[in-house]
Structure 1
Amino acid sequence: MKKLVIALLLSALASNTTHAADLGGKLLKVGSDTTSPPMESVDPATNQIVGFDVDVINAICARINCQTEFVTTGWDGIFAALDQGNFDLVASGVSITDERKKAMDFSEPYIVNSQAVLMRVADQGLSIDEFKAKGKKLSAQANTTDAQVAEGIVGKENVIAYDSFSASVIALKNKDVDGVVINGANAAAYEREFAGELVVAIRDLESDPLGLVFRKGDPNIAAFNEGLHAIKADGTLDGLVGKYWGQK
């Protein structure tokens, strides 16, 4: 699928398939903003947290002998909650940035994600240049790289940041803004949810590597990186990308 806006990061893989990391069956709590399918969401039928990040974490834990308990946490407080010890790591489609690395540690990247713009169906012909030239307004979830991308397109004065992505979508439907910068990994899910009303009309904007987030100095990072290498090397990660986005 040529327009898929998520791809495996092409990183060097260790050729040695012997894995020494063993966390001894430890139960790790994982913080996640479970409002972003298919990365993570709550299945209404089972009330279980499901998604790509859940499957990635569980696949890694199968290699390094740990168990997981996902904890739904709002995005606006997720890193503070990690720092306070409410959980052991964050798996929530988090972009690795230099600014964030000052306050937290990341695993190696597991995928690369590209931002896109969600629009009303009637406006789907608008280009990035028209957004810039016509003073169009964009919204995004606050404190995300999506918001930074939006500011880069139309200027900070034309961006309205909301505490949740759902609030950004409501603003778009109410015509308070002309587009929402969206995490590209979630684009297809939102097109389905709002079919006939909203559409992802601009794709493949800036790309970010995504990583798992740990408190500074957490010794478990090395084990998770080892597990990540293992699921890349044996094709498990490829298979999960195929499961959620239809291609390896």
Structure 2
Amino acid sequence: MRIQHKPLLIAGALALTLAASGCTTVDTPSAAGGPSDQASPVAAALTVNVEARALVPAKILDAGELKIASDPTYPPFEYFDTDNKTMIGWDVDMGNAIAAVLGLKAVHVPATFDTILPGLTSHKYDLGMSAFSVTPERAKAVDFVPYLDSGTGLAITPGNPHKLAMDSSSLCGYGVAAQKGSTQSMDVLPKLSKGCTDAGKKAINIQNFPTQTDANLALTSGRVNAVMADSVSLAYQGKLAEGRFELADGPDYEPQLTGTALDKGSDLLPAIQAATKLVAESPAMAQINARWGMPASTAITVDKIVMK
């Protein structure tokens, strides 16, 4: 998703894989849901920072809002609440917090993952917050403001019957799913599959799906042997799916920064950098992480928020 990264569960047939987790439950969300601008309790406790607000372009100030695009199929980062139209999750809370510091209203717009970055360059959205991995290729088209550090994980059915792990020798010849447009689908899986063929083994049977939900359903229905996505999301999604899949043992694969995406050269970049720093240095960051079960290992130092 994203990177790597990116989880989730949803609609129709997928309703069978969803279950209550923590203080929220996931039902049968639909990507057709409308924009959500519901503020989180965390954001409500933040105050406007005058210096950061002064960096906001006049056009955004006049509109009074930030249009934030996310793919709501990726818990715990973003997914639909039980009303099937209100987006909730880590990215939603973080977006609300950033907007609050700037004295703006966050308007969360559902979008399919692979359309978000093009939507930024066409100025359809102001920000993309959907567990985007910060990669050199993506950085050619958009600017990033990092906020987490995470890596790719592998989801398998309980007990890991095929003994799969995040390395090419383990995955050769097996079916592995990923979300279309994710780092896993474009970079990680092709790289690992090449390792297989270079060693004279069968290539990985890579299967890309429109949403993370579809990829997860392919695993739980037996159509693939594993799913690759952000390790944090996969672990969370496995719990939501009542243990129908779980994260394979082992370290994350090639941890990368994850962050907010903006159109290349956007005048909004300095304001988002400033606001992200302020949130990261405030108690709000710990509250958001705790609310969505984000492990301490994902934290980044404030100096990484402004990319060189």
Give the TM-score, by structure 2 length: 0.68
Structure 1 CA distance for aligned equivalents of residues 182 and 136 of structure 2:
13
Distance 1:36 1:137, change over 3 A: same
Once the two structures are superposed, what CA deviation does each residue of 1:197-242 show, in whole Å capped at 9, x if it has no partner?
2221245222121111111111111011111111122232122112
- Residue 46 of structure 1: CA displacement? 6.9
1:20 paired with 2:51, answer yes
Residue 35 of structure 2: aligned partner = none
Residue 53 of structure 1: aligned partner = 91
- Residue 195 of structure 1: CA displacement? 2.3
Say whether the 8 Å CA contact 2:154–2:165 is kept in structure 1. no
Residue 172 of structure 1: aligned partner = 219
Say whether the 8 Å CA contact 2:176–2:204 is kept in structure 1. no
Once the two structures are superposed, what CA deviation does each residue of 1:163-207 show, in whole Å capped at 9, x if it has no partner?
221222232233332110021221233212322422212452221
Say whether the 8 Å CA contact 1:128–1:153 is kept in structure 2. no
Q: Please give the secondary structure, in 2, of the residue aligned with 1:241.
A: helix
Tell me how many residue pairs correspond in the alignment. Answer: 232
Match of 2:105 among 67, 91, 108: 67
Say whether the 8 Å CA contact 2:147–2:276 is kept in structure 1. yes
- Residue 153 of structure 1: CA displacement? 3.2
Distance 1:242 1:193, change over 3 A: closer
Residue 189 of structure 2: aligned partner = 150
Give the TM-score, by structure 1 length: 0.83
- Residue 140 of structure 1: CA displacement? 0.6
Give me the CA root mean square deviation: 2.5
Structure 2 CA distance for aligned equivalents of residues 136 and 129 of structure 1:
12
Once the two structures are superposed, what CA deviation does each residue of 1:39-60 show, in whole Å capped at 9, x if it has no partner?
0111123731111111111112
Gaps of 5+ in 2: 7-48, 195-202, 297-308
The one-letter code sitting in structure 1 at the alignment partner of 2:261 is V
Say whether the 8 Å CA contact 1:136–1:154 is kept in structure 2. no
More strand by share: 1
Structure 1 CA distance for aligned equivalents of residues 264 and 156 of structure 2:
38
Once the two structures are superposed, what CA deviation does each residue of 1:74-127 show, in whole Å capped at 9, x if it has no partner?
1122222222222111111111111011111112x1001221111112535614
Structure 2 CA distance for aligned equivalents of residues 137 and 176 of structure 1:
8
1:224 paired with 2:272, answer yes
1:242 paired with 2:290, answer yes
Gaps of 5+ in 1: 7-17
Kindly report structure 1 stretches of 4+ aligned residues shifted beyond 6 Å. none
Map 1:76-87 to 2 at 5 A.
Answer: 76-87=114-125
Residue 9 of structure 1: aligned partner = none
Identity %: 23
Say whether the 8 Å CA contact 1:137–1:154 is kept in structure 2. no
